[in-house]
Each structure stands twice: as structure tokens, then as C-alpha cells.
A and B are shown apart, each in its own frame.
Chain A
Amino acid sequence: MLNKLSPWKKAGLYIVLILVCVLTLLPLVWMLSASLKLDKDVFRIPIEWIPSNPAWSNYQRIWDQVPMLRFTFNTFKITVITTIIQVFTCSFAAYGFAKCQFKGRNLLFLIYVATIAVPWQVYMLPQYSMIQQFGLVDTHASLILLHAFDAFGVFLLRQFCMGIPNELLEAARIDGLSEYGVYRKIVLPQMGPSIATLVIFTFVTNWNDFMGPMIYLNSTELKTVQLGIRMFMGQYSTEYGLIMAASVVSLIPVVIVFLIFQKQFVQGIATSGLKG
């Protein structure tokens, strides 16, 4: 059998892997530990990794000191709407690009792909100017528009769509299905896993988005979770325990999604990476 390792090598490998993981996870473990400490204990040496007297009150206080609940709701709202728009328009366009023959298709797709390589900084100002002219600055709509038409989604779904055999679609067309019927009855059901991948990526991107809300949102009641933590850091810069507690709370949804859908994540990266 391949990769048959001797017990010694195996043990050595485990030790190296454990060391690596300790190093990568250390900041996050420290965050968790500090979130349960009083400010005066956060930097105390030697470090008490598991606080003997956990300050659970940190987790209570964050909801009182800034409207964290409101921010969480706002973030969820923006994320859900963006994801819905993405899934519908992207899967539609992906089918058009992958399976419909028409003039100018390849050029159009090239333009889509080319914009993926354009750094956001290049057009963020004209984009702001445009959204300002729509009168949407300082609304959630601005952030939804900002993320809903990302070319990456079209690209990702098209890559998956290309893998659906043409014979299958041809057979369906001969059976009298229109292109829209083929899309709805044959292609869409097959795209399930790739749509799941897109949903997860969109969720994480939106949940973690920091620059978008920072540029577009001014009103406190409209702000998102990430801005909420920044508010903490600004207003209570020495309340280390509190800042860490807010950070931990902001990570929880992503941790849950990540642990459940890890397979799709890995698949999505591998697909967009190697065929791109």
C-alpha cells in the first residue's frame, strides 16, 4: 500500500502537525482565553490559558455597550439578500456562458473574468460616486449592490456547469424542453453542490466585509458586526476582555458555517484554482 509509514515516522509527523496547528491556532485560543478575563488579567504572565475565574460578564456587557444585536441583524439581512440575488443571477448567467451558443459569448465571458483580476481599489471610488448618485449611500442597498454582481460567482458556477455532459442537455432538448426548461429541470438540480459552495463563499465574504460598510455606512443603527467591533476598539480601547469577547461572538457564525460546509469550501477553492 502507498504511504505506509513506520510508527516512528508517523509519530514524528503527528508531532510536527500538532506544533504547526498550535502555532496557527494560538492567536485564536488567546482570543478565547482573553475574552473570559478581566482587563487587568489579560496580559498577566504566566498566562492562565483557562481562566480559573471566567469573567462571563464580558459576554453580557458587549450587548449593552454597543447595539451588537442590531448589528448582527443588519449583517444577516445584507448577507441573505445578497446571497439570494447572487444565486439566481449567477446560476442563470453561468448556464448562458457554459451551454448556450451565441455570438460574442466568449468575449463577454472574457470581460467578466478580466474584471476578477481588477483590484477593487481601482474602481471603488467611481463605484461610490455612482451609488451616491442613486442616493443609496448610507443604506443597506448600497452594500447589497456592491457584492451581488461579483463576477467571481458567475465564474465559479460556470466552471461547474461546463462539467455537465452536453448529451444530457441534447436529449432533453429533443424531448421538447426549451432552453429555460433545460436550465430548470436538468441543470439547476445538478448545480446543487456548486450553488452550496457559492452560498458559503458569499456568506463568509459578506459577514466578514469590513471596507464596504466602513465606506458606505455612517448611521450607527445601520452598521454591521465588523464595524461594531471597530466601535468597541475605538470607544473602549483598553477594555481588552470586552474587545476579545465581541471578536469571539463575531467569529461564531463563520465557525459554524465553516465546520459544517468545509467540504464545499475545499472543493470551491480547488475548482476555481486549478481550472482557472
Chain B
Amino acid sequence: MATKEKADRNAAASKKSSGMTLKRRQTIVGMSFITPNFIGFFVLILIPVLFTFRLCFSRWDGYNPMEFAGLENFRYIFTHKVFQDAVIKTLIFTVCSVGITTFLSLGLAVLINQKLKGIGIFRTAIFFPYVASVVAVAAVWQMLFQKDMGLINEVLRFFGVADPPGWLASTKWALTGVIIVNIWKSMGYYMIIYLAALQDVPTSLVEASMIDGANAWQRFWKVKWPLLSNATFFVVMMLTINSFKSFDLIYALTEGGPGTATTLMSNYIYNQSFVSWDYGRASAAAMVLFAIVAVITLFQFRIEKKFSND
């Protein structure tokens, strides 16, 4: 209710000062709408983001006085084997997640975009993993991935795989396991985006192509696919950014292990922050992550602009 009181107060204030120019008054009124949210946003998000820029050049443990450290933090992380590996693993994780999820979510959207009875139930079922909590999801996948008794290896053995992998408990297979769960959990979300885009395709266009004798395959690739380019860019970029920052699912599944097998950049930042309490190194690693995501985002805007101009 505080916002309403504030609104009334501001309204009274703007009436009193009717001598003000219209523009000035508009600015004050407009700002008054934004202020309640902006204060919180400024203090809790904007300042911390800007503070990271300073911390990455500092030596600080959160208690003792902060010291200027120049590029020392960056030198440390770039020569730190764990960080180097984390960057490589993040790239592997991202490329696999983005490629497979985009492909699957598009396929699922095409499947679901049919006028069939009970189609809503299928959509719900595929989308549900997205809203399920990572903790519960991780708990069940850990059991499914069990080496000796887990369901997945039972199935593999049934199909003749004599020595199935240890999945989340094995340094070699843990990353694959994490990628599988990540795809399973997120594909429903991107399917919905594709579905919305497919439903925006004008039916007249599709009908026209049918009259011209195009089969279903041609109809998809020649008519619908070009119209989906915006959605595809959005899906690919969102997936890329989300893969770079995905953390809680991996943490819940493996805590970055075994060893450092699933320590991606975001896990590295977390460990430097809340395990080592090294603000400088954590912020330097965070800056690298930020730079990568920023470049991808800018790239996205560029491409989108180019395509909307064409």
C-alpha cells in the first residue's frame, strides 16, 4: 500500500506546482511510477553489478581492507588449471545443450502443433520438467543414474551394453549425465516458444502452398522454417546464455564433481566466492563469464537487426 500513498502524495505535489512546465511535471510523474522498483533494483542489482568491476581488480576477503591488485586476479585464473578446464567444459556443455535442445524443442513443437484430441495433455507432460524444482529432479536422476542398480544402466544392460558407465559418479561420464538432465528439463520451455511462433504462421500461406501441391516436408522447410528464424535466434541465444550461467542444476546433481569433472565456470565462481571467500578471483572469473555473455547478446542484436532489415 506504500506505493499508493506515495502516488497520492506525488499527485498532490504535482497539482500544487502547476507553475512548472508540462515537460518537467511529466518527468516527475513518470519517475514517481518507477521509483519504488528502481530503489530496490538500484541497491540490490545495479550497484552489485558495478561493484564487480571494481572487485575484479582488488584483493579482498570481505573483512580486511580492500587492496588494489591490478590484473593479478586475471593472471591467477587464466593460469589456474581448474579455471581453464572450467571454460572448456562450459563450452562443451553449451554446444551440446544448445544444439540438441534446439533440435528437440523444434521437433516437439511441430509434433504438438496439431489439431488432435488431448494434445494439451501432451504439451503439459513435456513442459512439466521445466517447472519441477532442481533439487527434487536431481534427487531422482541421481538414483536413475546409479551405476549398479539404476534404471538407466538396467536398460542399457538389457540392450546388451556389458559395462555401462557410472554416469554422475564417473569423471568421464558425469558431464554427459548433467547435459542429459539439462536437456530433459529445459526442452519444454523452448518448445513453447517454438509453438507460439508456429501458431503465428499465417494459415493462408500454408493453405496456398498446399494448393500449389507442396507436401508436408516442403511446407515445413519452404514456408514455415523461414518464418521461424526469429524464434530460432531467440531460442539459440537464450539457450546459450542460460547454458553459460546454469548452475543450480549442476550443483544439485554433482556439486561440480566428482573431482572437478562438472565444475563449469559458474561453479568455479561459486567456489571462489563461498568456499574460498576470495572476492577478487571470484569477480575476475565472473567478469570473464559476463564478457562472454555480453558478446553473445550483442551478437544476437546484430543478427536480429540484420534479419529484420532484409
Residues of A that sit less than 8 Å from B by CB = 2-3, 5, 10, 13-14, 16-17, 20-21, 24-25, 27-28, 30-31, 34, 42-43, 45, 47, 85, 88-90, 92-93, 95-97, 100-105, 108, 111-112, 115, 117-132, 145-146, 148-149, 151, 154, 178-180, 183-184, 204, 207-208, 210-211, 215, 226, 229-230, 233, 240, 243-244, 247-248, 250-251, 254-255, 258-259, 262, 265-266, 269-270, 273-274, 276
CB-CB < 8 A to B116: which residues of A?
A: 5, 10, 13-14
Q: Does B215 contact A (CB under 8 A)?
A: no
Interface centre among A27, A42, A101 (most CB of B within 10 A): A27
**Contact between A254 and B206 (Cβ–Cβ < 8 Å)?**
no
Some 17 contacts from A to B, beta carbons below 8 A apart, are A13-B111, A100-B26, A108-B38, A121-B286, A122-B286, A123-B49, A124-B273, A125-B269, A126-B49, A128-B274, A130-B43, A154-B41, A229-B139, A254-B131, A258-B131, A269-B196, A276-B234
CB-CB < 8 A to B206: which residues of A?
A: 2
**Contact between B143 and A210 (Cβ–Cβ < 8 Å)?**
no
The interface residues of chain B, by DSSP majority, are classed as helix
Binds A, one of B7-15, B75-83, B167-175: B7-15
**Contact between B30 and A115 (Cβ–Cβ < 8 Å)?**
no
**Contact between B115 and A3 (Cβ–Cβ < 8 Å)?**
yes
**Residue from B37, B112, B244 in contact with A90 in the complex, judged by beta carbons closer than 8 Å:** B37
Q: What distance in Å separates the Cβ of B255 from its nearest Cβ neighbour in chain A?
A: 11
**Residue from A5, A13, A24 in contact with B129 in the complex, judged by beta carbons closer than 8 Å:** A24
Taken together as a complex, chains A and B put the C-alpha atoms of A30 and B293 apart, in Å, by 37
The interface residues of chain A, by DSSP majority, are classed as helix
Q: What distance in Å separates the Cβ of A272 from its nearest Cβ neighbour in chain B?
A: 9
**Residue from A89, A95, A244, A254 in contact with B133 in the complex, judged by beta carbons closer than 8 Å:** A254
Q: Does B70 contact A (CB under 8 A)?
A: no
